[in-house]
Amino acid sequence: MPSFDTVIRNGTVATAGDVVRCDVGIRDGRITALGEDLTDAEQVIDASGRLVLPGGIDAHVHIDEPAYMGVKVADDFESGSLAAACGGTTTMISFAAQQRGKSLRGTVEAYRARAEGKAYIDYAFHLIVSAPDEQLLGQELPALVADGYTSFKIYMTYEGLALDDRQILDVLAAARRDGALVMVHAENDHCIHWLKDRYLAAGDTAVGNHGRIAPMPVEREATHRAIALAEIADVPVLIVHVSGREAVEQIEWARRRGLKVYAETCPQYLLLSQDDMDKPGIEGAKYICSPPPRGRDNAEALWRALGQGTFQVFSSDHCPYAFDGPGGKQARGPKAGFHEIPPGVPGIETRLALLFSEGVGRGRIALTDFVALSATNAARLYGLYPRKGTLAVGSDADIALWDPERTVTLSHDLLHDRVDYTPYEGRAVTGWPVMTLSRGRVVWDDGAVKGRPGQGRFLQRERSPLAAPATRNGDDADPRVG
């Protein structure tokens, strides 16, 4: 009997800590050897000229969610997970969103049933808490954390989701008690609505005003307030989809004070801008997301923060509303105003190629940083490490082979989601995932889908050691993580 089911030979293996030339031996879905001249295998994959990287973890995706503004996202677990795999991602974490007036446990069970038998890759859920009453805080959350749902997302804006400061403190306290990690969408809801009402009163409904009703101070203030509330509750916090340099300044200020504040950003804030939303007519709707893309002078500040370790996680925030037709961003017609367009952009398949090309390719980040931002740090923060997010003996054989020299011009026709556009149409990237393995099984092979729906498994996650109570001196954990 061969020693391995699969051996990946002659590649350059990179983790968040090292880059080495070695072979990877796989048996029963796990890595069982890293070494030289591994040959005794049923299948040998020649990775000459390729990078052998941990499969990406996209820790912020919106899949098969309830309608928002009367519109549903286009991707379910089958299409979303296939697109992820074709982009080099092997684990995705989506959101089970509590509906006010309904049990969170019931929401989670229904959401898990919708995913069952559909995913090409492994997946997990965050919990969205929108009604933190005594029943939820005292009974449902502790039980759900014990069952492996070890992260919560809370909102400081959006009707039906926004929590006030006292509710946020209650959720943070529950997370501290139960060992969960809280993610925060940080925008000041009152400011957004005040500015929106002023534009509407003036009759100015131009699509690009989506960015003007949520300027950087809206995010800056909410980020500072989220940090302060977490400090009062004595618990770490993760600020999601950070879009602006002013929010970055708040996060760096908190770190200097020894607070455990983690941060995530996304491709749209590095590569899109207010100019895109200002394109003529309804075209700018393709680029609307929340928080909005900023001015073009903002991107370099985010790249600097990525290179210096301010951000731990690089996610897609894949929110796949279609563009055309009654079921997408034009649900209110081709002359819809900024207030009638659901916010969100697709990106689950393009996330890694964009970061590799613009980050590693342009010398803004090292290859080891790419691995940390795209996989390892998310695994550590969300209770999946070392099963996921690294290439080590005993880890799941979730692997992406990259051709670092291949140049691809992004087009919707290349992609596998069910959205009808990509905001990165026509952008050339250098570096492309040519093969993806999930637990040792090839899912994607350079243009050919090899996996099948249902082979992905639901992941029960551990409590993250990084979610332990914060300390003022910062000695218990490095917020850089990777």
The confidence score (pLDDT) of residue 475 equals: 47
- Find, among 240, 186, 171, 228, the residue nearest to 378 by Cα: 240
- Find, among 262, 253, 249, the residue nearest to 216 by Cα: 249
* Amino acid at position 145, single letter: V
The confidence score (pLDDT) of residue 469 equals: 77
The confidence score (pLDDT) of residue 479 equals: 64
Q: Residue for token digits 């020299």?
A: 405
Distance CA 431, CA 49 (A): 12
* Amino acid at position 28, single letter: D
The confidence score (pLDDT) of residue 276 equals: 98
459 neighbors 92 (Cβ within 8 angstroms):
no
CATH fold of 56-378:
TIM Barrel (3.20.20)
pTM score: 0.96
Residues 6/10/12/17 CA torsion (nearest 10 deg)? 60
The confidence score (pLDDT) of residue 482 equals: 63
Per-10-residue mean pLDDT of the chain, 482 residues long, equals 94 98 98 96 97 98 93 96 98 91 89 97 97 95 97 96 97 97 98 98 98 98 98 97 98 97 98 97 97 94 97 98 89 95 98 98 98 98 98 98 98 97 98 98 97 98 85 54 66
Q: What's the pLDDT tens digit per position in 334-367?
A: 999 999 999 999 999 999 999 999 999 999 999 9
Q: What's the pLDDT tens digit per position in 111-124?
A: 999 999 999 999 99
Question: What is the residue extent of each domain of the chain?
Answer: 56-378
